[in-house]
Amino acid sequence: MAHSDNSEACARVAVDWGTSSFRLWTLSADGQVLARANGPYGMASLSKQDFAQVLEDQLNRLSVDRHVPVLICGMAGAAQGWCEAPYLQAPMALSQLGLGAVRVPDIERQVHILPGFMQTQPCNVMRGEETQILGLLSARPDFNGVVCLPGTHSKWVRLSEGQIAHFTTCMTGEIFSLLCHQSVLKHSTAGKGWDAAAFVEAILQMMSAPASLADSLFGLRAQMLLEDLPPATARARLSGMLIGIELAATQAYWQDCEVALIGEASLCRHYATALASQSVAVDLLDSEAMTLSGITSAFTQLRET
Amino acid sequence: MAHSDNSEACARVAVDWGTSSFRLWTLSADGQVLARANGPYGMASLSKQDFAQVLEDQLNRLSVDRHVPVLICGMAGAAQGWCEAPYLQAPMALSQLGLGAVRVPDIERQVHILPGFMQTQPCNVMRGEETQILGLLSARPDFNGVVCLPGTHSKWVRLSEGQIAHFTTCMTGEIFSLLCHQSVLKHSTAGKGWDAAAFVEAILQMMSAPASLADSLFGLRAQMLLEDLPPATARARLSGMLIGIELAATQAYWQDCEVALIGEASLCRHYATALASQSVAVDLLDSEAMTLSGITSAFTQLRET
């Protein structure tokens, strides 16, 4: 896309600051990405007093003027993060997201952190995903359906009239990683490759018999010992079992609904395949684009400070 | 129990050599335990050439004569262990267990390792549990029912006419440990204490809606953040969810059956409570006693060598 000379000046900075990662974009006045930065500066690796310096280093590296406003989404706003941005409570309209932003005190720059969402019946929380959903609504304000954000902690979010109406969380990615790397199954799932048929078969097994997860996992190890089960098959079957029981648990969300997937592209394709086995078509949306669109939209919602 | 002078001489040595632990007993001719040794010399921490020296050190420490026979059960007989004792294939009578023992070559002492059991439809394996089951059958040769051996990898084993007819494995203990110590739930489940009501409630939830495991786990974290859920409640509920989906998966084993539990006492009590919620009464059997009885019985089954 062609940039006018005007747009080359950095007008805003967007940051997605998660548990394990840090991503920053400098944006022109018309919303074009001028530069990117990222690194392993996640909340989990920082203490409270480190955040300001990490941000300052990145902004200096990109020569961002001191007057340029910065807006952050994600775990940096958690109680254990940089500066707590208290949760908004669902159901609530995403047009309120920027109004819940908290300005980081005691620093020269104008830095705001966006809040997450909470729900009490039953208890649930998110931080970061709400911003991507705002990005989706910026592009499609009439979207009344379900957003699935696959990942370490997959979110399923029902949107209604611009509100986050209800949501739930599945620890699918975290459990997959623990089982693949730290359990007895690590011997069976190492390496690369993917067995698409085994994945779908496992999805169907979990949809019809979710309890069988409990006594099917060890079978991957046994089948490797006794029948040389290929690691690509074991890994795809393990992923299919975990995504399958996630789909079984969240059926009330996706059944007869318009479903949008936001997340890492290859993982979203697995979720699309899994949902297709249940005759559910999905829209695949780019994760970075939704984050940027959400933060850009939230900038316009900030209170004057 | 009174020992005769005669029985004080060590006549046999029994060893349970697992993935993470080593337990050894010296036994008199009439089967009394004379001395015990144990330590962290599990298979996972040893290379093949270490096993002989570890055993020799322990036997020397207890002044066991070189002519005293030694019989080992457990993972020492795995392909990655000391000396492979190929699996017996279920269904097969446990009276065959000692016949499948392999004599460790190239050492002066007479050391045998007992085989495990395998099953091909569907694939499954065990090493160590079969010996405890032989111990149960030594005391109760007419037992026709189901044995559950809770642990890192819980086994459910159907016995029929002295045979291991069929079995399955649930990674319940390993998954509980990973979630408690290495997942985001570690913040919610730390500490001691137990909430018995929360445990049973989770069992009932999983029996009626096993798929809900997938989107209930993260709720423990959310409920701690939003409502200060006590760690004792979170830990008991997590345990109840995992044991609950295990029971849901293994219902065909325990329903309308005589169930014997062999394992660590406090864990067995949790399983007994869980099964009681389904109106299943159980026998609690002592794990060490079953191991010793099984190895003692297997000594009489060894081929002449």
Residue A162: CATH number of its domain: 3.30.420.310
- φ, ψ for residue A200, nearest 5 deg: -65, -40
Q: Is A174 on the interface with B (CB under 8 A)?
A: yes
Please check whether residues B136 and B178 belong to one and the same domain. no
What residues of chain B lie within 8 A of the CB of A215, using their CB? 156, 168-170, 246, 249-250
Averaged pLDDT, A135-141:
95
CB atoms within 10 A of CB A190: 12
- pLDDT score for B243: 98
Q: Least CA distance to A212: which residue of chain B?
A: B249
What residues of chain A lie within 8 A of the CB of B239, using their CB? none
Say yes or no to pLDDT of A305 above 80.
no
- φ, ψ for residue B290, nearest 5 deg: -70, -40
Averaged pLDDT, B41-62:
94
Please check whether residues B15 and B140 belong to one and the same domain. yes
Tell me: cis bond preceding A230? Omega within 30 of 0 counts: no
How does strand B117-120 pair with strand A92-93?
unpaired
Please check whether residues A162 and A46 belong to one and the same domain. no
Please check whether residues B26 and B138 belong to one and the same domain. yes
The per-residue DSSP string of B112-145 comes to EE---EEEETTEEEESSHHHHHHHHHHH-TT--S
Say yes or no to pLDDT of A97 above 70.
yes
For chain B, percent helix, then strand, then coil, each to nearest 5?
45, 25, 35
Q: A146-161, pLDDT tens digit by residue?
A: 999 999 999 999 999 9
Closest CA to B298 of B103, B96, B156, B150: B96
CATH number of the domain that B56 lies in? 3.30.420.300
For residue B1, tell me if it sits in a domain. Answer: no
- pLDDT score for A4: 43
Smallest Cβ distance to B182: which of A170, A178, A214?
Answer: A178
CB A267 within 8 A of CB A200: no
Q: B107-162, pLDDT tens digit by residue?
A: 999 999 999 999 999 999 999 999 999 999 999 999 999 999 999 999 999 999 99
What residues of chain B lie within 8 A of the CB of A233, using their CB? none
Residue at a domain's end among A98, A117, A136: A117
The whole-chain average pLDDT of chain B stands at 95
Q: Quote the radius of gyration of chain A (alpha carbons, Å).
A: 21
Averaged pLDDT, A23-40:
95
Using CA atoms, how far apart are residues A17 and A27, in angstroms rounded to an integer?
A: 17
Could you tell me the pLDDT band of residue B83, with boundaries at 50, 70 and 90?
very high
Chain A interface disruption, residue of B80, B146, B179, B213, most A CBs within 10 A: B213
Q: B90-111, pLDDT tens digit by residue?
A: 999 999 999 999 999 999 999 9
Residue at a domain's end among A78, A96, A117: A117
Please check whether residues B17 and B119 belong to one and the same domain. yes
For residue B192, tell me if it sits in a domain. Answer: yes
Q: A161-187, pLDDT tens digit by residue?
A: 999 999 999 999 999 999 999 999 999
Say yes or no to pLDDT of B8 above 80.
no
Query: Residue B102 belongs to what H/E stretch?
Result: strand B102-103
Using CA atoms, how far apart are residues B172 and B156, in angstroms rounded to an integer?
A: 12
Please check whether residues A7 and A91 belong to one and the same domain. yes
Averaged pLDDT, B62-90:
96
For residue A184, tell me if it sits in a domain. Answer: yes
Residue at a domain's end among A70, A90, A117: A117
Please check whether residues A27 and A49 belong to one and the same domain. yes
CB A172 within 8 A of CB A179: no
Smallest Cβ distance to A226: which of B120, B179, B211?
Answer: B120
Q: Is A44 on the interface with B (CB under 8 A)?
A: no
Indicate the burial class of A30 (C-beta count within 10 angstroms; 0-12, 13-18, 19 or more): exposed
Chain centre distance of CA B46: 20
For residue B156, tell me if it sits in a domain. Answer: no
- pLDDT score for B191: 85
Q: Is B201 on the interface with A (CB under 8 A)?
A: no
Kindly state the tokens that stand for A24. 């920053």
Averaged pLDDT, A38-65:
94
Percent of chain A with pLDDT over 70: 97
Could you tell me the pLDDT band of residue A8, with boundaries at 50, 70 and 90?
confident
Using CA atoms, how far apart are residues A250 and A227, in angstroms rounded to an integer?
A: 34
Q: Least CA distance to A167: which residue of chain B?
A: B215
Given an 8 Å threshold on Cβ–Cβ distance, is B156 in contact with A226?
A: no
Closest CA to A64 of A6, A11, A3: A11
What residues of chain A lie within 8 A of the CB of B172, using their CB? 214
Please check whether residues A172 and A238 belong to one and the same domain. yes
Percent of chain A with pLDDT over 90: 93
Q: Is B183 on the interface with A (CB under 8 A)?
A: yes
Please check whether residues A218 and A290 belong to one and the same domain. yes
- pLDDT score for B47: 93
Q: Is A245 on the interface with B (CB under 8 A)?
A: yes
Q: A209-265, pLDDT tens digit by residue?
A: 999 999 999 999 999 999 999 999 999 999 999 999 999 999 999 999 989 999 999
Q: B263-283, pLDDT tens digit by residue?
A: 999 999 999 999 999 999 999
The whole-chain average pLDDT of chain A stands at 95
For residue B160, tell me if it sits in a domain. Answer: no
* Residue given tokens 């990942």 in the structure block: A151
Count structural domains, chain B: 2
Please check whether residues A62 and A147 belong to one and the same domain. no
- pLDDT score for B178: 97
Q: Is A43 helix (H, G, I), strand (E, B) or coil?
A: helix
Which of B65-74 are b and which e, b meaning 16 or more Cβ less than 10 Å from the residue's Cβ?
eeebebbbbb
- pLDDT score for B6: 43
A33-39, strands of its sheet edge to edge: A33-39, A22-28, A10-17, A70-73, A111-113, A102-103
Query: Residue A165 belongs to what H/E stretch?
Result: strand A163-170
Q: What angle do CA A73, A79, A80 make, to 5 degrees?
A: 95
Smallest Cβ distance to B211: which of A182, A215, A249?
Answer: A249
Given an 8 Å threshold on Cβ–Cβ distance, is A178 in contact with B174?
A: no
Please check whether residues A10 and A58 belong to one and the same domain. yes
Q: B161-170, pLDDT tens digit by residue?
A: 999 999 999 9
* Residue given tokens 């014997």 in the structure block: B260
Q: B158-209, pLDDT tens digit by residue?
A: 999 999 999 999 999 999 999 999 999 999 999 889 999 999 999 999 999 9
Given an 8 Å threshold on Cβ–Cβ distance, is A219 in contact with B124?
A: yes
Could you tell me the pLDDT band of residue A100, with boundaries at 50, 70 and 90?
very high
Cβ neighbours of residue A295 under 8 Å, at least 6 residues apart?
Answer: A14, A15, A16, A71, A73, A114, A131, A135
Kindly state the tokens that stand for B5. 């002078």
CB A146 within 8 A of CB A258: yes
Q: Is B90 on the interface with A (CB under 8 A)?
A: no
For residue A190, tell me if it sits in a domain. Answer: yes
Please check whether residues B75 and B139 belong to one and the same domain. yes
- pLDDT score for A82: 97
- State how far residue A194 is from chain B, nearest Cα, in angstroms: 21
Total count of residues recorded for chain A? 305
Kindly state the tokens that stand for A196. 């698409």
Could you tell me the pLDDT band of residue B13, with boundaries at 50, 70 and 90?
very high
Rounded to a whole number of angstroms, the distance between the first and last alpha carbons of chain B is: 33
Kindly state the tokens that stand for B164. 């291991």
Could you tell me the pLDDT band of residue B305, with boundaries at 50, 70 and 90?
low
Kindly state the tokens that stand for B90. 């279920």
Domain that holds residue B87: 6-144+288-299
Query: B85 or A2: which carries more pLDDT confidence?
Result: B85
Amino acid at the residue A55: L
For residue B109, tell me if it sits in a domain. Answer: yes
Stretch 120-139 of chain B: residues touching chain A, C-beta under 8 Å: 120, 122-125
Averaged pLDDT, A188-203:
95
Say yes or no to pLDDT of A6 above 70.
no
CB B248 within 8 A of CB B206: yes
Q: Is B37 helix (H, G, I), strand (E, B) or coil?
A: strand
For residue B304, tell me if it sits in a domain. Answer: no
Q: Is the ipTM beyond the 0.85 threshold?
A: yes
